[in-house]
Amino acid sequence: MMGIKSQGISACRVNRCVKQSIVFALLAFSAILSAQTPPEDFPHFTVPGHEPEMEALRNLFWRHYENAGPGATLWDEWIPTPTLWPALNENARLVEIRDRWEKTLTERILDNEGYVATHQHPSIAHPLGWPFPFWSQGTGGAGWHFSFRGMVGPPWRPNNLSDTAGWELTGASNLGMMADGWQIQLDSTGAKVLTPQQTIDTFQAPFLQLRWRAIGLTNAHPYIEWATETESGFSESRRMYFDPADQGAVTLTVIPLYQNPRWTGHVTRLRISFDNPPASTVILQGLFTQYDTRQNVNNASFIDGCISYFNWTGNVEFLRMNAARIRAAIDYMLTDQHVRQKHVVETTWVGHSGQSGIHYEDGKKLLLSGQGIGDNYWDLLPFGGMDTYATLRFYGALRKAAELEREIRAHRSWQVGAPGKGLTAEKLDQLADEIKHEGNRLFWDSKARRFIACIDSAGMPHDYGYTFLNLEAIAYGFAEERHAQEILEWIKGQRIVGSDTSTGTDIYKWRFAPRASTKRNIDWYIWSWSAPESLPWGEQVQDGGAVLGWSYHDIMARLKILGPDDAWNRLREIAFWYAEVSAAGGYRSYYNGNRPGHLQGGGTPGGLGLDHEFVESILVPETLLDGFLGFEPTPDGFTVSPRLPKEWPELTVDHIHLHGVTLTIRATHRQIEITRSGSDEPLKVVIDGKKPIEWKDAKPLKRQL
């Protein structure tokens, strides 16, 4: 009976595959005719017998490559590689994208402590943080805006300007409102401005931002003081100094009031002393409180992006300019984020406790203003406290940084100084080992058998079945192998977690990616996302929806743990889906209401992340190079370790631009052949983990696997 049953299933699968292939070929042909296809010199993925699937994946790559490039810091980990390696014969695009990455990464702002700025679009939130939340989205903050010139528009700021009612000037004259703001003449030394009476909850106001211009304050030492409900006067103990504004330019001065232990409870009034000489002038554009919207994953993304750029380009001058910045970014995580002591990321910024901004008491919903601020890509979710996601991301960056330090030590000709004692390759690898051990111990839920999101400051774990987090943990090598196996059993639907909303085959309801979460979440969010229950399950990307780009980690995780056949089955399903999408006229036409699913992006709400701001969609075809071909750039060459599915006779990827060389790599199950053009730069090539080969000539490199 078992033999008959097995044969029946096998025949059924064969028939289904044959029918599917015919349908796929027709769809792909239709898509090719109707969609804008890549130029001929754009990289090709070639697998004999699977031309339609490869063409669909190539078209997907091109769709998202055309407008890809540097953006916010958050994407520095993911976007450099798929935009840096495609070699078009007309090199203008290649040169342009490499120049942009060099400039962008080198100009990323690191503050004095080593925190890397977010560089997302502007708002009135913390200028080095995420653009929300800002003071007017909560309760207990305060703000006065006297000009909106040069500022972002609504909804990223209030609609109406403030007046000067209730303000008091000492040693200064009111020169009235102008287009740039409120102009004040500082007549006497030590002039002061006093805000109106305003109760400020210091928890809602860890920072204060002063937007202003000044003339004559170059050598001044201005400061701000505050009165409280119990201390109506001002004192030196309740004072913080800040730098004067740049001469004549609008300056965004951010004052970290939370660092003063006397900034606590409720403040009733603020006073600014300018420490000015006579006849100085200031123009106040705005004075307002700020939430801490910094992101604890920025440093890891920046580190990873810099290393990827250097490995692909071999730009030693870039490394000289940024090695100290990379090390500072690492040290910030070790100190400010407590990794050196805790061996996991612990975020203690105000509002980043990991606790929700939504609370239920006696069945009644309460919004806890200032609580639940996000830390990463999933900006409505209150990752924080002991943060699993930030920990595994930093773990991945540390491994790459350790390898970079080994390369720096081996290449004295680069003239890059040695790191401090705590940042050597050996120390970084040791720390990464400790992070992996502690992270797998602390964050693993032995009942659900998957990683939780975080443990909040009250010691409570939070878990909604976040597939993206668990798959990244495998892809980065953070998950121990036994944990990786159990994660994939759950995500593939082979193992049921009884408390989940989505189980079994429903986890892949959206076809192109697993649901981002498998358990309904209506109570773990930032306070400003106040009615999650009003949206059905699956109608938000973070609550049962899906994001195409994170299928990259799904495929890479499967390849690492389950092998190339399983990974190819998943990638092929995505190719089938994308051919249907292309035949329908694109994402927006495909999801036009005639089938389940609504797209988020470009100002529209929905549960599916594919286009517009979802630039990481470019990652999915990258699995052919990174995963199945096993290609990885190094500072003086590359490694390649093909892992082909049984049904692939071979895989060829062309137009791979590394340093100044363009490569074509053809791999079979037994042999690899590499050809080159362009620069005659010698390359160190490691094939399938064997002894490095010095490749110095233009002859094809052939080796048995």
CA angle (33, 34, 38) in 5-degree steps = 75
Residues 243 and 349 in one domain: no
Tell whether the model's pLDDT for residue 223 goes beyond 90.
yes
Residues 428 and 386 in one domain: yes
Q: What pLDDT, in 10s, does the model give residues 325-361?
A: 999 999 999 999 999 999 999 999 999 999 999 999 9
Would 349 be classed as within a structural domain? yes
Tell whether the model's pLDDT for residue 474 goes beyond 80.
yes
Tell whether the model's pLDDT for residue 28 goes beyond 60.
no
Would 35 be classed as within a structural domain? no
Would 333 be classed as within a structural domain? yes
pLDDT value of residue 93: 83
Query: Lowest mean pLDDT: which of 90-104, 261-275, 470-484, 583-597?
Result: 90-104
pLDDT value of residue 202: 98
Gap between the Cα atoms of 284 and 282, Å rounded: 6
Gap between the Cα atoms of 122 and 130, Å rounded: 9
Tell whether the model's pLDDT for residue 13 goes beyond 60.
no
| DSSP state for residue 506 in the 8-state scheme | G
In the structure, what pLDDT confidence band is assigned to residue 697 with cuts at 50, 70 and 90? confident
In the structure, what pLDDT confidence band is assigned to residue 16 with cuts at 50, 70 and 90? very low
Residues 336 and 416 in one domain: yes
Residues 337 and 258 in one domain: no
Residues 329 and 440 in one domain: yes
Gap between the Cα atoms of 35 and 578, Å rounded: 12
Residues 342 and 444 in one domain: yes
Residues 177 and 78 in one domain: no
pLDDT value of residue 247: 82
pLDDT value of residue 35: 52
| DSSP state for residue 601 in the 8-state scheme | B
Would 671 be classed as within a structural domain? yes
pLDDT value of residue 602: 86
Residue finishing a domain among 420, 442, 464: 464
Residue finishing a domain among 464, 498, 532: 464
Tell whether the model's pLDDT for residue 472 goes beyond 50.
yes
How many structural domains compose the chain? Answer: 3
Extended beta strands in 232-378, E state:
239-241, 251-255, 266-273, 280-290, 346-347, 358-361, 364-367
Q: What single-letter amino acid sits at 280? A: S
Residues 262 and 318 in one domain: no
Mean pLDDT of the region 266-279: 96
Segments forming the whole domain that contains residue 248: 135-290
Residues 152 and 79 in one domain: no
Rounded mean pLDDT of the chain? 93
Mean pLDDT of the region 537-551: 98
Contacts of residue 644, Cβ cutoff 8 Å, sequence gap at least 6: 564, 628, 650, 651, 667, 668, 669
In the structure, what pLDDT confidence band is assigned to residue 116 with cuts at 50, 70 and 90? very high
Residue finishing a domain among 438, 464, 490: 464
Residues 82 and 101 in one domain: yes
Q: What percent of the chain has pLDDT over 90?
A: 90
Q: What pLDDT, in 10s, does the model give residues 136-194?
A: 999 999 999 999 998 999 999 999 999 999 999 999 999 999 999 999 999 999 999 99
CATH number at residue 660: 2.60.420.10
Question: 126 exposed, middle or buried (CB, 10 Å; 0-12, 13-18, 19+)?
Answer: buried
CATH number at residue 166: 2.60.120.430
Residues 440 and 314 in one domain: yes
Tell whether the model's pLDDT for residue 19 goes beyond 80.
no
Tell whether the model's pLDDT for residue 304 goes beyond 50.
yes
Tell whether the model's pLDDT for residue 27 goes beyond 80.
no
In the structure, what pLDDT confidence band is assigned to residue 91 with cuts at 50, 70 and 90? confident
Tell whether the model's pLDDT for residue 72 goes beyond 90.
yes
Residues 141 and 231 in one domain: yes
pLDDT value of residue 229: 94
Gap between the Cα atoms of 106 and 240, Å rounded: 31
CA angle (402, 407, 410) in 5-degree steps = 130
CB neighbours (10 Å) of residue 411?
A: 14
Q: What pLDDT, in 10s, does the model give residues 629-638?
A: 999 999 999 9
Question: Are 464 and 395 in contact, with CB atoms under 8 Å apart?
Answer: no
